[in-house]
Amino acid sequence: MTEWTIRQMRHVPEDELHAYLDQALSRSQCAEIETHMADCGRCRDLRDGTAALRDRTTALLGQLSPRALIVAPPYEMLIQRKGLIPIPPDWRRRVRRAGLWAAGFVAAVGAGWVGRSLLEPRQFAPAPLALQTPEQSGPAAPISDGLAPNAATDFQPAATPIPISERAPRYLAPRSNRLADAVVPPPSLQIVSVGLSSRGSAVSEPAPLIRSEDRSPFSRIWRRVEWEDALQIAGSAMPFIEGMPVIGVLLQPGAPDERPTVIVAQQDASGEVIQSIEGPQDKVNELLARQNTPDVNRSALTRTPPDYVEVGGGVRRTLRMLTVTGRLSVDSLNALLRVVTIR
């Protein structure tokens, strides 16, 4: 049997007959089917039945027409309506727009993360300070408690307590905040101002804030801690300004029996970061000496209760200091220093 005969003998499948009647087949396929049906009564019957089914379907669906006669409104009216109906973008534009949104979001998050990582050390470390030079600060005066001035930091303590400016400080503390609610306000520290002078030349050496001078590489490392944890670790050495939200606490553990050095960063109503630094005198001086941003000022240094450490059967007294730094005027910082409390 030849191939031609086989093709002639193959009956036309029903779906092909539907496609044939719907004129969905190619010309060659149609010719093949017609050639076959010319000799095949069975396929002709099937074609007739399929055509009847198709016509009936069309008739049934025709009954589901909203109106007997559907008339299109004038095309001009459609054009007029076009201006009234907001046209939504097609899916490609939507996808493109969504992609752009997603990319923008990712970029913003990334930029925020990078920015935060760049800003964080400045935010939580002591703000760079401009330190005065001896020439600018005038003659040195003895400190009230007899402490020698730290020559390395060029502090020139004033002979008398710092007079607070008559004008109102820039900072106006709110009545309460989250921190103040959470923490029982401790008694205010009696501030003995030991010196403050105007801004002078900047110390140019930028140095890392975190430096361990201990033999153990980790025991004296600066750590960023939560407020509650800091309270537990630092105990009574936690300086903060009531009424300002705390945005971070940096803490460096001290030697055995010594309180740690603490930097509490808070934010005032204008968004400025205020840092309260409390720790051993040499440590605070060292931190201040490493600041090099000219627009950051510091308040007067004030004494806090010293540490007493037993060393070789005797007792060593370590003086501790407190200061407030920030991009505020010295008068404002001094005003803030007066309201710093130490828990």
Partner 1 sequence: MEDLERLYKTHYPAVVRFLFRKIWDADRAEDLAQEVFIRAMAHQPEKPRAWIFAVAANLARDEARSAIRRRKHLVLLKDDPVPLSTPDMSAEETVEKDERWAKVTNALAALSERDRDVLLLWDGGLSYPEIAAQTGLAVGAVGTTLARARKRLIEAHDRMDYQADAARS
SS3 138: coil
How far is 51 from 20, CA to CA, in rounded Å? 10
Please, which residue, 81 or 116, has the CB nearer to partner 1?
Answer: 81
Of the candidates 203, 253, 195, 248, the residue with the CA atom closest to the CA atom of residue 226: 248
- Cα distances from 327 to residues 47, 130, 133, 212, 290, in angstroms, run 92, 11, 19, 28, 16
Please, which residue, 6 or 70, has the CB nearer to partner 1?
Answer: 70
Of 12-20, 98-106, 196-204, 257-265, the segment contacting partner 1 by CB under 8 A is 12-20
How far is 117 from 266, CA to CA, in rounded Å? 18
Please, which residue, 25 or 179, has the CB nearer to partner 1?
Answer: 25
Determine, following the binding rule CB under 8 A, whether residue 14 of this chain makes contact with partner 1.
Answer: yes
Min CB(32)–partner 1 separation in Å: 15
Determine, following the binding rule CB under 8 A, whether residue 184 of this chain makes contact with partner 1.
Answer: no
Min CB(76)–partner 1 separation in Å: 10
Min CB(42)–partner 1 separation in Å: 17
Task: Figure out which of the listed residues 2, 5, 28, 90 binds partner 1, where binding follows CB under 8 A.
Answer: 90
Q: Are 104 and 112 in contact (CB under 8 A)?
A: no
Written as six digits, the tokens of 226 are 């939560």
Contact string (CB under 8 A) for partner 1, positions 249-278, x = contact: ------------------------------
Min CB(123)–partner 1 separation in Å: 48
- Burial class for 122, CB neighbours closer than 10 Å (0-12, 13-18, 19+): middle
Residues between 25 and 84 that touch partner 1 (CB under 8 A): 50, 53-54, 56-58, 60-61, 63-68, 70-73, 75, 78-79, 81-82
How far is 148 from 161, CA to CA, in rounded Å? 16
**Within its chain, how far is the Cα of 42 from the centroid?**
78
Please, which residue, 78 or 151, has the CB nearer to partner 1?
Answer: 78
Residue 227 main-chain phi, psi, to 5 deg: -60, -45
Min CB(9)–partner 1 separation in Å: 22
SS3 82: helix
Q: Which residues bind partner 1 (CB under 8 A)?
A: 14-19, 22, 24, 50, 53-54, 56-58, 60-61, 63-68, 70-73, 75, 78-79, 81-82, 85, 87-88, 90
